[in-house]
Amino acid sequence: MKMPPPQSIDGAQVIAYVTVNIEHRHTGNTKHHRHGLLPPSPALAICQYENEGSFYLFGCDEKWKCVSDTYHDTLEDAFHQAEWEYEGISSAWSWME
């Protein structure tokens, strides 16, 4: 995946994003389902809806379409969840400008 994410995904502003690659091990600690078990996501985005203090970790497809999400009270919790799901991802995040 080479294209950066859009400014918003599913109506939520993108705060940070990362493309998952071979350096990031999918841990299997969290299993996402949508009409069956989903494969590991090729991209992740931490997003926030307008007028909300909480954050979402979106698992995205190659076109930055959200296919899974987890809710988090803090930005730190969302980053922690990403590392829980994809070991080694913590140092790879990019901040949205």
More confident residue, 92 or 36: 92
87: confidence class by pLDDT, cuts 50, 70, 90? very high
pLDDT tens-digit map of 26-41: 888 888 888 888 889 9
- Cα–Cα distance between 46 and 51 in angstroms, integer? 16
Q: What are residue 69's DSSP bridge partners?
A: 58
The sign of the dihedral angle between the CA atoms of 61, 62, 64, 70 is: positive
CA atoms within 13 A on the CB side of 54: 7
Length of the chain: 97
pLDDT tens-digit map of 42-78: 999 999 999 999 999 999 999 999 999 999 999 999 9
As a whole number of Å, the end-to-end CA separation of the chain is: 19
pLDDT tens-digit map of 7-24: 999 999 999 999 999 888
For residue 1, is pLDDT > 80? Answer: no
For residue 2, is pLDDT > 90? Answer: no
Residue 7 CB-density burial (10 A; 0-12 exposed, 13-18 middle, 19+ buried):
exposed
